């Protein structure tokens, strides 16, 4: 009787282990990281701590970017629209241009895309924190000065990585995508694997 009981426990543990290992491989673990940022409403947000417990899609943008970043933004909205209405996945867009992308600017940008309420979070922060975060998630940027002389305002563009991440509810990176070109169906399919 005791042997059968132990055998039952062993099989249960084995199946549980197999089920866990069937999930997607983890590419990185951000659970030990912590970045104090500010959302489009001027509220302090700690990334990724404040989002633990929910899957999170994270895109990286700057609001002076007319082409690639608008597709990254739009892609995340389309993914949200495809998920069930009661899904608790959060959608974060973090700027790598914090000097120009203040909370007010991000709020205005989010409004233009009809994304200025939860589950969308547009985040900025101080330059040092943003730089550190971008290094951590392997988002590379470099400023071009092509338009500097064409306006009295400080206009410049940024060459940058084109990236969206899918982070699981335990702040572990599970998928790393080309942000603007990845079809929405791929995001949905991977999200269902979590």
Partner 1 sequence: MKNISLFATLLFALLFAATACSSDERPDSSQQMVDGDGIEIEGAWARPGSEGRMSAAYFLITNFTDEDDRLLSAESDVAQNVEIHESYEQENDMVGMRELESVDIPVQSTIRLEQGGMHIMLIQLTRSISDGDSFELTLNFENYGEVVLDIPVRL
Tell me which residues touch partner 1 (CB under 8 A): 63-68, 70-71, 74, 77-78, 105, 108-109, 111-114, 140, 142, 144, 146-147, 150-151, 153, 155, 157, 159-163, 178, 180-181
Q: How far is the CB of 112 from partner 1 (least distance, A)?
A: 4
d(C-alpha 130, C-alpha 139), whole Å: 10
Task: State which residue, 86 or 152, has the beta carbon closest to partner 1.
Answer: 152
Task: State which residue, 36 or 146, has the beta carbon closest to partner 1.
Answer: 146
Task: State which residue, 13 or 181, has the beta carbon closest to partner 1.
Answer: 181
Residue ranges of alpha helices (H) inside 51-138 are: 68-82, 103-112, 127-136
Q: How far is the CB of 129 from partner 1 (least distance, A)?
A: 22
Task: State which residue, 35 or 71, has the beta carbon closest to partner 1.
Answer: 71
CB 155 within 8 Å of CB 64: yes
Task: State which residue, 84 or 114, has the beta carbon closest to partner 1.
Answer: 114
- Is the preceding omega at residue 66 within 30 degrees of 0, hence cis? no
d(C-alpha 89, C-alpha 33), whole Å: 20
Residues of 73-106 as b/e, b for ≥16 C-beta within 10 angstroms? bebbeebbeebeeeeebbbbbbbbbbebbbbebb
Q: How far is the CB of 107 from partner 1 (least distance, A)?
A: 9
Q: How far is the CB of 138 from partner 1 (least distance, A)?
A: 9
Could you tell me the two tokens for 9?
Answer: 């426990």
Q: How far is the CB of 102 from partner 1 (least distance, A)?
A: 12
């Amino acid at each position: 009787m005791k042997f059968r009981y132990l055998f039952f426990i062993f099989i249960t543990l084995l199946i549980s282990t197999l089920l866990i290992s069937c999930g997607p491989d983890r590419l990185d673990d951000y659970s030990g990281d912590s970045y104090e940022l500010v959302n489009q409403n001027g509220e302090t947000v700690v990334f990724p701590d404040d989002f633990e417990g929910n899957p999170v899609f994270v895109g990286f943008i700057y609001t002076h970017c007319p082409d690639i970043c608008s597709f990254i933004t739009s892609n995340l909205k389309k993914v949200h629209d495809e998920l069930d209405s009661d899904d608790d996945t959060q959608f974060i867009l973090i700027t790598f241009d914090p000097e120009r992308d203040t909370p007010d600017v991000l709020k205005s940008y989010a409004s233009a895309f009809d994304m200025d309420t939860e589950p969308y979070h547009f985040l900025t922060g101080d330059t040092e924190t943003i730089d550190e975060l971008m290094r951590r998630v392997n988002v590379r940027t470099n400023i071009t000065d092509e338009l500097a002389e064409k306006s009295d305002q400080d206009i410049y563009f940024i060459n940058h990585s084109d990236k969206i991440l899918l982070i699981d509810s335990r702040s572990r990176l599970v998928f790393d995508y080309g942000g603007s070109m990845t079809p929405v169906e791929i995001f949905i399919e991977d999200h269902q694997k979590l």
